[in-house]
Amino acid sequence: MPMNNPFHTPAFSMAALTAAINILPNRYGRMEALNIFPARPVRLRQIIVEEQNGVLNLLPALPPGSPGTVGRRGKRAMRSFVIPHIPHDDVVLPEEVQGVRAFGTESEAETVAGVMARHLETMRNKHSITLEHLRMGALKGVILDADGSTIYDLYDEFDIGAKTVNFELTNAGTNVKAKCTEVLGHVEENLKGEFMTGIHCLCSPEFFEKLTGHAKVEKAFENWQQGIVLINDMRSGFTYGGITFEEYRGQATDANGTSRRFIAAGEAHCFPLGTVDTFGTYFAPADFNETANTLGQPVYAKQEPRKFDRGTDLHTQSNPLPMCHRPGVLVKLTMS
């Protein structure tokens, strides 16, 4: 008598698996921890960003009964973006769920749910680091695919120039504080009515080492190290000249085995924190019949039996597009 497929239960439906994979913790991602790319679910795979180059005017005080000032209309520009589709497949083989004792036990049989959870966790982590890579690209103004090719160059899309500040850290006489002031001024000018609570900078290890060892910064860094243990969270980064600098070592390996760092050696990238609508991650729905015209989820999961019931195919996909609506607030730093 043939054995029934244990996955043919409501517990392994598309909705249940999708809920399960989205509950799993995101184990990788400074972007997630900083929470600068809030989720913005959409119903379609294409989004339109409307840019309005309006002028922000101060509203004058008028006597009671006076007519209100009339708002001025600025030029509008519409830009369309297609949300990337990122599928990932795996398989649960029969020997994984039959006659295999649970890890760390003598006799307890491996549960089907446990096997599925392990697969989902591995797949979730791959989607998480992929999203981290995309978000880091959005913070640099150029969203890159896994192979390093460009998905969207936000500077080209919004027709603005990229801002780079050379901190000249190889020169002991460089006024680093003045360089920080230049970055602060540029970001503040390009907020265009947006708010921020501060400026954060993710640095390559090389940049962070040169910065903290610079003659004009070294003493401040030593004082910070002495006081940070007593008054602050040591993970929060080193603040100097109004910018919080943090070493960032994010990297990942693509399908061909090529390892890529998310921030190039000797570079750093500044961006504002506490903004209202400058950053966001658009999530589109999966290409399933049951998800058409529904709001997108961060990750989807689905399973179906293999031919002749020789295992169960597990399919996951994410459809994310991290976006910076004001690329002018992004500043790249170099050190030589």
| Residue 255 maps to a domain | yes
Structural domain range at position 114: 10-51+77-334
In total, the chain counts a number of residues equal to 336
How far is Cα 207 from Cα 330, in angstroms, rounded to an integer?
17
Predicted local confidence at residue 312, as pLDDT: 87
The CATH number linked to 44 is 3.90.1690.10
| Residue 4 maps to a domain | no
| Residue 189 maps to a domain | yes
Closest CA to 179 of 163, 165, 162, 189: 165
Tell me the pLDDT tens digit for each residue of 284-306: 999 999 998 899 999 999 988 88
Q: Which residues of the chain have pLDDT under 70?
A: 1-11, 27-28, 51-77, 99-110, 227-236
| Residue 5 maps to a domain | no
| Residue 308 maps to a domain | yes
pTM as predicted = 0.85
Q: What is the mean pLDDT of the chain?
A: 84
| Residue 64 maps to a domain | no
Predicted local confidence at residue 54, as pLDDT: 38
Looking at the structure of the chain, the number of domains it has is 1
Tell me the pLDDT tens digit for each residue of 38-93: 999 999 888 887 766 533 344 555 566 666 655 555 555 677 889 999 999 998 88
Predicted local confidence at residue 57, as pLDDT: 45
Closest CA to 201 of 216, 186, 222: 186
| Residue 71 maps to a domain | no
Beta strands in the chain (DSSP E): 39-41, 46-53, 75-82, 86-92, 142-144, 150-153, 163-166, 198-203, 238-240, 243-247, 251-253, 259-261, 267-273, 279-283, 300-305, 312-318, 320-324, 331-334
Grouping H, G, I as helix, E, B as strand and the rest as coil, residue 122 is: helix
Predicted local confidence at residue 50, as pLDDT: 72
| Residue 154 maps to a domain | yes
